[in-house]
Every structure is written in structure tokens, then in C-alpha cells.
Amino acid sequence: MADLKVRIAKRAAKEFKDGDVANLGIGLPTMVANHLPEGVHIVLQSENGFTGLTGAPEPGKEDVDVTNAGGGYVTHAPFANFFGSEESFAIIRGGHVDATILGAMEVDEHGNIANWIVPGKMVAGMGGAMDLVVGAKKVIVAMLHTQKGAHKILKECTLPYTALKVVNMIVTEMGVMEVTDKGLLLTELHPDFTLEEIQAATGCELIISPDLKPMEEE
């Protein structure tokens, strides 16, 4: 499972351009910071009032005062800034985040996302997702393709929405899908899977790109 998450993080990291201001959601998306392509330098922003995050610290070198929005220990660049959450959300709502990578419980073919609540269950909650999905210039969902065999990529979300028609791209261990007006366009397929397998694991019809290529991690 850990290897699959690393695969997803490595591929999602390739969507960043040098100089981007970016935000990473809790869980799997935080792994992206450790897998940025060589030569790509980004400014990571966190909802808890922090720009200049870098990767996870070495074991034993954690600083209790330096965490991401999910409470995980991180390190920081020399140019890092710390400030209030109101300023942090002003960055997001003001459209200054070039891209965000988030997890999700469900995404559908229209680009709708549900990632904040499962009725009747305790989950992490909304966090900054509601603001990020409408404030960031590009929204990428990075997640495992299914949950214990159940579809997470659907024709219509069944869980309460976080936002409508905001997702641009989905990256899973099986492939890469872009949200289009006609549905989900499969642009990359990991060599471990066949077209039949990824379609069976998806709860909506995938459009196969005529330029479909293998999903690369490096």
C-alpha cells in the first residue's frame, strides 16, 4: 500500500512548475513534497499560516512548532514565513495558489468532489478544502483508485459535496484522468494495469485518449 501511495505522490508531483505556489492536503498529498522533480522548486503554503514548507524531517529531528495543517511534522526553507490563519486563507481566497493536491472520498465525472464528511462517521472534517477547491488555479486529486474494492470515481458522488465542477485532474495508482466537458479522459495508464482493469475499478465510463501513454513516476 505504501508503495502505491509513493507512486501516486511521485506522479502528482510532476504537475508542479518551477516557482508555483502550492498547497498539499492532509494524508497522501503531503508525500508529494518529498518527490518533487529535480530542478522544480515550489513554495508550499499551509492553511495553518505557513509558507515555505519542505519535506518531512529525519526521525528524531522533529520540531514541535513546525507542522503542516494536518499536524504532521515538516521542515522549512530559509525563506519560510509564519503568520495567522486569516492571512493564510486570504492567500487561498485571493487566487494566489497555483495548484492544490487533495485527497478525496469520492470524485465524479463532472469534477465534483466529496472529501469532508461521511454521514454518521467521525472524519477529519472540511479543513481548508472548501476554500482551496475554489481558490486554487488547478485542483488535482491524488488518491487510491478504490476503497476496499468500492468505487471512489463515480458517475455522480453519493456523499455530501465539498464543491461542484472544480477538479481538473485525478491521479491514482492505476492512471491519470483529466476532467473534460464530456467526462473523464484517461491520458495515462500504469503498466501494472490493463484498460479493462481500470475501467472495472471506475464507477463511470472512461474516455480513452487517442494519445494514451504509460503512467511514469520518475
Residues labelled catalytic: 47
Query: Strands 169-171, 153-154: parallel, antiparallel or unpaired by DSSP?
Result: unpaired
Work out the burial of residue 61: count CB atoms within 10 Å of its CB; fewer than 13 is exposed, 13-18 middle, 19 or more buried.
exposed
Name residues whose C-beta falls within 8 Å of residue 10's C-beta, 6 or more positions apart in sequence: 35, 217, 218
The order of strands in the sheet holding 106-108 is 113-114, 106-108, 153-154
CA–CA separation, 197 vs 175, rounded Å? 11
